[in-house]
Structure 1
Amino acid sequence: MDRYLASELIGPFLFGVGAFSSVGVAIGTLFDLVRRVTEKGLPLDIAIEVFLLKLPDFIVLAFPMSVLLATLMGYSRLSADSEIVALRSCGVSIYRAIVPAVVMSLFVTGLTFAFNELVVPAANYRATITLERAMNREKPPFRDRNIIYTQFDRVRKDNGHKVKVMTRLFYAEEFDGNRMKGLTILDRSEGNLSQVVVSESATWNPAQNTWDFFNGTIYLIGEGGSYRNIVRFEHQQLQLPRTPLDLAARGRDYGEMSIAQAKERLEIISQGGDEDKIIELKVRIQQKYALPFVCVLFGLVGSTLGIRPRRASKATSFGISIVIIFGYYLLAFITNAFGQLGILSPFMAAWLPLGIGLAIAIGLLIRASR
């Protein structure tokens, strides 16, 4: 029975992977590549390479949708031909009948996670680099202008409460991959602005874990904001974090990072104090964890709706799948926005749509079993 039910699901699943990934890659990549080939002279072989490299990203997105389509179409066919009635008359419960769908969903969940971690980030990054080189717009492997690092710390106020305040601001106008140029550092580590460092250039000294500043001026500021001393220097070593150099390194886009790479990036930007970027990256990391489990949700929903006694064509099943997919991802988009606004925690922003969907699916399953 399990082999028979599984065989009913494999065909629609493969059809769904082909259909959904084809539509996604056509809208998301193909049209843009055709425009670049015809209008901007992108070589055809490069366009084909970029197209193939972008395929895994859309295949991963198609996996959950294909599970929904496969279970809905497979069980709808069985229900329409009264095979579900025959199974139930033999003592097979609804819960037992959907076991093959759940097992397939779990398998596709693991496949989705593997693709999303091992294949998609590397393929997307290579596609970006290949396209930039072909268009002669390759970006340097670092951020070359306006490097800003803001250091925060918790200080105790007179009333005894600790608050988070800025203790240091590091700004470099340019970066050539080795040397920062046009630097300004504001030091508030003692509670108030105590010194301002202006320097022509600076390099990181890995041997001593310090910054070497060249041709600059240190303005020492006393109480009330008045200058109490001015020190000019040709070479000065300052004990500052290495974080500005890490922030200058070119960061990959979210789709080009695995979970491990995203967590490493999170550690770096967390030291910079940019709360918006920190929250956004935390939400994206949780979404990477949650995405594969959408396969389980869609497997339960599809099999539960399909197993109910009714007659539905393949076109009807496809239409129902589109409505469910649109509704789920609309909810996911809304919770994601709430997460980035701080209304929801990153965990809740990523997992709340899945929790709501599972609650609805379990309710439908209990109702179908009665």
Structure 2
Amino acid sequence: MDRYIARELTLPFFFGVGAFSSIGISIGALFELIRRVTESGLAVTLAIQIFALKLPEFIVLAFPMSTLLSTMMTYSRLSSDSELIALRGCGVSVRRIIAPAVVLSMLVTGLTFLFNELITPAANYQAAITLEQALNSERPPFQERNIFYQEFQPASDNSDAQELKRLFYARRFDGETMYGLTILDFSQKGLNQVVSSEAATWDFGKNTWNFYNGTIYVVSPDGSFRNIVTFDNQELQLPRTPLDLASRTKNDTEMNIAEATRQLDLVRKSGDERSIRRWETRIQQKYALPFVCVVFGLVGASIGVRPQRTSKATSFGVSIVIIFGYYLLSFITNAMGEVGFLSPFLAAWLPTLLGSVAGVFLLLKASR
């Protein structure tokens, strides 16, 4: 029975992977690549290469949806052909009947996690680099212009609010030296400093910044200049974080969990609560996404085993509705997590938890 149901689940699953990933990559990448070929002169061979590199991102998104489609189509077909009635007449429980679907969804969960950690981030980054090289705008391994860093501290009125502690701006960066720097320092109570410098480098031995050809303006609380100091070379004890941030150009879709965690550590040094929440939510999403396969497998199987006579087209339509509802809820909770209404953990896991509760409820109802 297990081998038979597993065979029945396999074909719809691969059909779903092909269908959903084709739809996703057509909307998310193919149309844009065609536009690049026709308008920007992107070579067709490079467009095909970029297309192949973007494919893992959409395949991994198709895994949960394909799990839902395959379980719903398979068990609906078994129910329509009265095969489930025969199995239950032999004393086989509903929970035992859907066991192959749960095992399949767990295997797909592991496969999704491997894709998200080992394949998809590297492929996305390589696709971005390949496209930029082809368009003569190769992205260096660091941010070249407008390095902007804000560091926050608790408000002086002892409230939960944050206030700006230090603002760091560099007009240009060549990988070693920053040029055209302006630093606003509000870290000392009642005394503000403005540092303007032509260039600055980081001294790894002393863990300090070396500023060259600049001026330090010390501003009194009443807004007047208390002191002005010009210098040729000045060491300043400022955080290294701007250099670390300038050295990273990947976005969250191009990072695995370890890389995203390192990025979160950098952002935490700034004290920017909104950015911290955003990265915490993104990391939790990377953990939560694979387990959607288990939720969809349980929900699809529980709906499919109910006595009914539905076509494959109906199963496909119901799957689309469930998928749309789940990802809409996920989008809403993630937005709530980023603004602080929900914790990052709850924002990422709430749709999965609600889906699990719905799956268990449907299973118990179908078992009666």
- 3-state SS of 1:334 partner: helix
State the one-letter code of the partner of 2:96: R
State the one-letter code of the partner of 2:201: T
Asked whether the equivalents of residues 79 and 308 of structure 2 are also in contact (C-alpha less than 8 Å), the reply is yes
Which moves more between the two structures, 163-172 or 176-185? Answer: 163-172
Pairing 1:158-237 to 2, within 5 Å after superposition: 164-222=162-220, 224-237=222-235
TM-score with structure 2 setting the length: 0.95
Asked whether the equivalents of residues 205 and 211 of structure 1 are also in contact (C-alpha less than 8 Å), the reply is yes
- Encode CA deviations 1:297-356: one digit per residue, 9 max, x unaligned: 100111011101111111111111111111111111111121122211111111111111
**Could you say which residue in structure 2 is the equivalent of 1:313?**
311
Which moves more between the two structures, 69-78 or 187-196? Answer: 187-196
**Could you say which residue in structure 2 is the equivalent of 1:143?**
143
**Could you say which residue in structure 1 is the equivalent of 2:268?**
270
Which moves more between the two structures, 103-112 or 38-47? Answer: 38-47
Asked whether the equivalents of residues 193 and 225 of structure 1 are also in contact (C-alpha less than 8 Å), the reply is no
Provide closer, same or farther for how the CA distance between residues 137 and 306 of structure 1 changes in structure 2, counting only shifts above 3 A.
Answer: same
- Encode CA deviations 1:4-24: one digit per residue, 9 max, x unaligned: 111110111111111111111
Which moves more between the two structures, 187-196 or 50-59? Answer: 187-196
- 3-state SS of 2:331 partner: helix
1:253 to 243, 251, 254: 251
5+ long unaligned stretches in structure 1: none
How far off its partner does 1:161 sit? 6.7
**Could you say which residue in structure 1 is the equivalent of 2:124?**
124
Aligned: 1:22 with 2:22:
yes
How far off its partner does 1:163 sit? 6.3
State the one-letter code of the partner of 1:256: E
Provide closer, same or farther for how the CA distance between residues 14 and 71 of structure 1 changes in structure 2, counting only shifts above 3 A.
Answer: same
State the one-letter code of the partner of 1:165: E
- 3-state SS of 1:232 partner: strand
Aligned: 1:57 with 2:29:
no
Q: CA RMSD in A?
A: 1.7
**Could you say which residue in structure 2 is the equivalent of 1:67?**
67
How far off its partner does 1:155 sit? 6.9
- Encode CA deviations 1:124-159: one digit per residue, 9 max, x unaligned: 0000000110011223322222222222334765xx
How far off its partner does 1:361 sit? 1.2
Which moves more between the two structures, 264-273 or 49-58? Answer: 264-273
TM-score with structure 1 setting the length: 0.95
Distance in 2 between residues matched to 1:143 and 1:67, nearest whole Å:
40
- 3-state SS of 2:231 partner: strand
Distance in 1 between residues matched to 2:148 and 2:250, nearest whole Å:
18
Distance in 1 between residues matched to 2:356 and 2:337, nearest whole Å:
20
State the one-letter code of the partner of 2:9: L
Distance in 2 between residues matched to 1:156 and 1:255, nearest whole Å:
37
Asked whether the equivalents of residues 156 and 163 of structure 1 are also in contact (C-alpha less than 8 Å), the reply is no
Distance in 1 between residues matched to 2:37 and 2:165, nearest whole Å:
50
- 3-state SS of 2:222 partner: helix
**Could you say which residue in structure 2 is the equivalent of 1:302?**
300
How far off its partner does 1:169 sit? 2.1
- Encode CA deviations 1:66-99: one digit per residue, 9 max, x unaligned: 1001100111111111111111111111111111
Asked whether the equivalents of residues 120 and 256 of structure 1 are also in contact (C-alpha less than 8 Å), the reply is yes
How far off its partner does 1:46 sit? 0.4
Provide closer, same or farther for how the CA distance between residues 316 and 247 of structure 1 changes in structure 2, counting only shifts above 3 A.
Answer: same
Aligned: 1:348 with 2:342:
no
Asked whether the equivalents of residues 186 and 193 of structure 1 are also in contact (C-alpha less than 8 Å), the reply is no
Tell me how many residue pairs correspond in the alignment. Answer: 368
Which moves more between the two structures, 344-353 or 115-124? Answer: 344-353
Asked whether the equivalents of residues 152 and 272 of structure 2 are also in contact (C-alpha less than 8 Å), the reply is no
